[in-house]
């Protein structure tokens, strides 16, 4: 017989929830994740009697209670000793290096990789990191073996450029496992070599940037909770390295990820503001990168502030050097794409259309996935404005690129196209486009 879960009973009492109210709140949190739960009063009563919920329910329970109580609730606190949170602790207090390499090793194990999908996005994780003093190394380290050097830091950044270029060309799905393998087999041993403090800090920063790339690849694969973990790890590593520029990029990435999933809360705005603050001494390209997204998020809260941030980002971008690299440059096409997002939120759809057209014109050959997604947004905006023919042209351009892309975002834009076009099925050219989408997206028989 299972033991009564007294911890969960106490938490529900503190939350002032009865079983039925808790069940309703859980269904709401699940709906935010795109999940449909069959959880009712009797289900919650069984948990209180000691029955253990199955994944992803434990993570949803922890998220729901953390929001209600306005503090982090752990699996131990709730009596959920087999919760997924034991595998992937979302707390900022977790050792980021141990957490990173635990996750990357799990990514490479086919028998355990499925566990990585048993988690949920957590609004309570949208917070700023505290320094953890991550395994600091010193010049007088007694460890044996070759010392890490500045050239090792440069190598990690070179590898990051290769992975970032590949992801921009083809999407993140196919490169996720190779990057996890590189982090596990090459970066983890490197971080444990003796090194001067400055070199070790450089290695932490470079590892943070690789973790950001891996998180973005997970997001592009549709694995959003896992992406959130990698982004958090990157922010922690950058904090431990005292690297405000990489921290600014990490916080901006977190805010972008949340915004793209439809979260426009004050917590997301705070992340965007903090990213902009940490970038204040960064090169102009990084400052433009954080400020333009501050404009995107501010448009949901303060239109005047959004317009001011937009103008500031454009001035910064004009001053930026053309230094290559995924973390040292900011493509003009991306800047105008975010300009379009800002204007669309401010209901300037004509201005947004112009910004998207400029974005597409400025995309480089390397930016195949961003260009395809820009075609999709152009199609959607044209249709919103009643321009069916140019919308069809842009959707066909997306389909031209689609066979070479391995991206959940591209999949989602095609699914959205089908939804948008249902009301126009009898118009010339629409049936042909829908047939082409079906042909390209149907699984082989």
Q: Is residue 131 part of a domain?
A: no
357 and 274 assigned to the same domain: yes
HSE toward the beta carbon, residue 309, CA cutoff 13 A: 28
Where residue 288 sits, what CATH number does that domain have? Answer: 1.25.40
Among 341, 364, 387, give the residue marking a domain's end. Answer: 364
What whole-number percentage of the chain has pLDDT above 70? 88
401 and 430 assigned to the same domain: yes
Output the six-digit token pair for 383. 């249709």
101 and 219 assigned to the same domain: yes
Residue 84 is predicted with a pLDDT of 41
| Residue 57: pLDDT over 90 | no
Q: Quick one: pLDDT band at residue 384, thresholds 50, 70, 90?
A: very high
| Residue 89: pLDDT over 60 | no
Residue 136 is predicted with a pLDDT of 44
Give the residue among 262, 254, 355, 344 at the shortest CA–CA distance from 299. Answer: 344
44 and 109 assigned to the same domain: no
* C-alpha distances out from residue 271 to 96, 105, 362, Å: 19, 29, 28
Average pLDDT over residues 107-135: 62
Q: Is residue 141 part of a domain?
A: no
205 and 187 assigned to the same domain: yes
207 and 94 assigned to the same domain: yes
Q: Is residue 252 part of a domain?
A: no
Q: Quick one: pLDDT band at residue 125, thresholds 50, 70, 90?
A: low
Output the six-digit token pair for 2. 């299972």
360 and 399 assigned to the same domain: no
What value does the mean pLDDT of the chain take? 88
Residue 58 is predicted with a pLDDT of 82
Residue 140 is predicted with a pLDDT of 41
Q: Looking at residue 104, what DSSP letter applies? A: H
pLDDT digits (tens, 9 = 90+) for 205-221: 999 999 999 999 999 99
Separation of alpha carbons 289 and 255, rounded Å: 12
Separation of alpha carbons 264 and 376, rounded Å: 22
Q: Quick one: pLDDT band at residue 52, thresholds 50, 70, 90?
A: confident
Residue 380 is predicted with a pLDDT of 97
Separation of alpha carbons 355 and 51, rounded Å: 54
355 and 282 assigned to the same domain: yes
Q: Which residues does 325 contact at the CB level (< 8 Å), separation at least 6? A: 157, 161
Output the six-digit token pair for 409. 């975002």
Q: Is the pTM of this model over 0.75?
A: yes
Report the 3 state secondary structure along 327-357. CCCCCHHHHHHHHHHHHHHCCCHHHHHHHHH
305 and 379 assigned to the same domain: no
| Highest mean pLDDT, choosing among 32-41, 300-309, 314-323 | 300-309
Q: Which domain holds residue 12?
A: 6-86
pLDDT digits (tens, 9 = 90+) for 371-382: 999 999 999 999
| Highest mean pLDDT, choosing among 37-51, 98-112, 128-142 | 37-51
pLDDT digits (tens, 9 = 90+) for 159-187: 999 999 999 999 999 999 999 999 999 99
| Highest mean pLDDT, choosing among 69-73, 114-118, 395-399 | 395-399
216 and 105 assigned to the same domain: yes
Total count of domains within the chain: 4
Q: Is residue 134 part of a domain?
A: no
Report the 3 state secondary structure along 243-291. CHHHHHHHHHHHHHHHHHCCCCCHHHHHHHHHHHHHCCCCCHHHHHHHH
Report the Cα–Cα distance between both ends of the chain, in Å, rounded: 48
Q: Are 115 and 54 in contact (CB under 8 A)?
A: no
pLDDT digits (tens, 9 = 90+) for 263-318: 898 889 999 999 999 999 999 999 999 999 999 999 999 999 999 999 999 999 99
Among 327, 342, 364, give the residue marking a domain's end. Answer: 364
Q: Which residues does 432 contact at the CB level (< 8 Å), separation at least 6? A: none
User: Which of 11-25, 123-137, 203-217, 262-276 comes out lowest in average pLDDT?
Assistant: 123-137
Q: Are 225 and 120 in contact (CB under 8 A)?
A: yes
Q: Is residue 167 part of a domain?
A: yes
82 and 107 assigned to the same domain: no
| Residue 93: pLDDT over 60 | no
Q: Which residues does 402 contact at the CB level (< 8 Å), separation at least 6? A: 372, 410, 414, 440
Q: Are 106 and 112 in contact (CB under 8 A)?
A: yes
Q: What string of DSSP letters covers 69-101?
A: HTS---TTTTT-TT-GGGTS---TTS-HHHHHH
Q: Is residue 138 part of a domain?
A: no
Q: Is residue 402 part of a domain?
A: yes
Among 313, 339, 364, give the residue marking a domain's end. Answer: 364
Q: Is residue 249 part of a domain?
A: no
104 and 180 assigned to the same domain: yes
């Amino acid at each position: 017989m299972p033991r009564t879960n007294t911890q969960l009973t106490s938490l529900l009492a503190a939350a002032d929830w009865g079983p039925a109210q808790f069940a309703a709140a859980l269904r709401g949190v699940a709906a935010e994740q795109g999940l449909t739960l069959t959880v009712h009063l009797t289900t919650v009563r069984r948990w209180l009697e000691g029955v253990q919920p199955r994944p992803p329910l434990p993570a949803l329970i922890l998220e729901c209670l953390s929001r209600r109580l306005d503090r982090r609730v752990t699996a131990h606190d709730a009596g959920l000793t087999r919760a997924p949170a034991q595998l992937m602790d979302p707390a900022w207090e977790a050792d980021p290096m141990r957490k990173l390499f635990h996750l990357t090793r799990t990514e490479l194990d086919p028998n355990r990789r499925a566990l990585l999908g048993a988690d949920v996005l957590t609004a309570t994780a949208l917070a700023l990191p505290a320094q953890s003093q991550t395994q600091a190394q010193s010049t007088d380290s007694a460890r044996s073996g070759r010392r890490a050097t500045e050239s090792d830091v440069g190598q990690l950044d070179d590898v990051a450029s290769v992975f970032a270029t590949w992801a921009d060309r083809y999407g993140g799905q196919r490169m996720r496992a190779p990057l996890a393998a590189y982090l596990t087999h090459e970066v983890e041993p490197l971080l444990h070599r003796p090194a001067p403090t400055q070199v070790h800090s450089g290695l932490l920063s470079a590892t943070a940037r690789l973790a950001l790339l891996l998180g973005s690849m997970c997001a592009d694969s549709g694995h959003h909770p896992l992406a959130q973990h990698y982004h958090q790890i990157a922010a922690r590593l950058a904090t431990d390295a005292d690297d405000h520029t990489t921290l600014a990029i990490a916080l901006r990435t977190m805010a972008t990820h949340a915004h793209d999933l439809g979260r426009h809360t004050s917590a997301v705005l705070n992340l965007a503001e903090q990213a902009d603050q940490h970038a204040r001494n960064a090169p102009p390209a990084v400052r433009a990168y954080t400020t333009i997204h501050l404009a995107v998020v501010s448009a949901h809260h303060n239109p005047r502030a959004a317009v001011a941030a937009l103008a500031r980002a454009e001035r910064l971008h004009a001053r930026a050097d053309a230094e290559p690299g995924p973390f040292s440059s900011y493509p003009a096409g991306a800047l105008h794409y975010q300009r379009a997002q800002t204007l669309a939120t401010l209901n300037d759809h004509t201005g947004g259309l112009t910004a998207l057209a400029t974005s597409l014109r400025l995309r480089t050959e390397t930016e195949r996935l961003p260009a395809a997604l820009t075609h999709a947004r152009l199609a959607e905006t044209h249709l919103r404005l009643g321009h069916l023919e140019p919308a069809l042209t842009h959707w066909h351009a997306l389909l031209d690129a689609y066979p070479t892309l391995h991206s959940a975002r591209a999949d989602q834009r095609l699914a959205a196209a089908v939804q948008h076009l249902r009301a126009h099925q009898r118009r010339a050219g629409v049936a042909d486009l829908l047939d082409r989408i079906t042909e390209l997206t149907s699984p082989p028989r």
